[in-house]
Amino acid sequence: MLDKVQKITDADFEKEVSKSAVPVLVDFWAEWCGPCRIVGPILDQLAPAYRGRLKIAKLNVDENQDAPTRFGVMNIPTMIVFKNGKEAERIVGAMSKSELEAKLDRVLKG
């Protein structure tokens, strides 16, 4: 499962993100969001490359409102990288695969 983008909910956020042994990128998204539909395939491409080093997860903000509220997600797509259960990086808006890779690599090295 770690080589694919995982769907998470408010109910399993604590287990899948806060208590994860590896850093987790959470993509806060919605079905109706155009830029979110651009980011989705990029995350699908990146997931296998980061297997074992980073878990990539998606949380639908229309179906799950606790986590977006708790982390102050105001715009989507918002991607937050959590390390040891704490926010390490926040990325707001769509970006290219190479830009996203550069940000993720920087966070994972730091």
Delineate the domains of the chain, giving CATH numbers in brackets.
6-109 (3.40.30.10)
Tell me whether residue 33 is one of the annotated catalytic residues: yes
Q: How many CB atoms lie within 10 A of CB 73?
A: 21
The mean per-residue pLDDT over the stretch 4-14 comes to 96
Q: What pLDDT sits at residue 2?
A: 53
Q: For the chain, how are helix, strand and coil distributed in percent, rounded to 5?
A: 35, 25, 40
- For 38-84, what is each residue's pLDDT tens digit? 999 999 999 999 999 999 999 999 999 999 999 999 999 999 999 99
Of these residues, 36, 57, 61, 80, which one is catalytic? 36
Of these residues, 5, 24, 33, 94, which one is catalytic? 33
CA angle, 64 as apex, 95 and 50 as ends, to 5°? 40
Name which of 60, 38, 58, 44 is nearest 3 in CA terms: 44
pLDDT band per the 50, 70, 90 thresholds, residue 109: very high
